[in-house]
Copies of this chain bind each other. A is one copy, B any other.
């Protein structure tokens, strides 16, 4: 230990180091959280992200493939009645409808089927292809799209579910969509609960 006397520049450096060292464990956590950024020779600085921005980041880094459900599909030739049965069996509110090659050709919702069922048509004879929303008027997402984009599409287009698709380019250059999942308001709500649980 040094004797009493005028304080040296070295001691000041030590003091400043001590100050930094005291703060550092906290700041390390904050940099990990993405609130502060550590820059060599500059030190820590606040990067302009608020708590809400953090929420936005937590949400925006999530991809459709992380929370999507398994696809539930019906051939467009099955009857409205059979489509309803599939819907109840699989406990879903929307079916992806596929053509003979298995590619996406339409989407049919509980609402579409209820409209037909209540209007007194012959639900056993009418094919689901007649009542579905048909390509290209279908809103889809890909597995790598963000959940945020998917949620925006659900709200903007006032629908309950999105087919999750992969694009196949056929030998003739035509693009076809393969259904690899579905992304619903239930997925979003479940993720919301998990966010609030702080279990991510």
A residues neighboring B (CB under 8 Å): 5-9, 12, 15-16, 19, 22-23, 25-26, 29-30, 33-36, 43-46, 50-60, 81, 84, 87-88, 91, 93, 110-111, 113-115, 117-118, 123, 148, 151-152, 154-155, 158, 160, 185-186, 188-193, 195-198, 200
Contacts and interface: CB of A to CB of B under 8 A. Distances in A.
Number of copies: 2
Nearest to A193: B151
A54 B93 CA distance: 33
Contact of A51 (B19, B34, B45, B93): B34
Contacts of A200: 52
A177 to B, nearest CB: 23
30 contacts: A7-B7, A7-B8, A12-B15, A15-B15, A19-B19, A23-B44, A50-B198, A51-B54, A51-B57, A54-B54, A55-B58, A55-B196, A59-B196, A60-B196, A84-B114, A84-B118, A93-B110, A110-B111, A113-B118, A117-B118, A118-B123, A148-B192, A148-B196, A151-B196, A152-B193, A154-B186, A154-B189, A185-B186, A188-B192, A189-B189
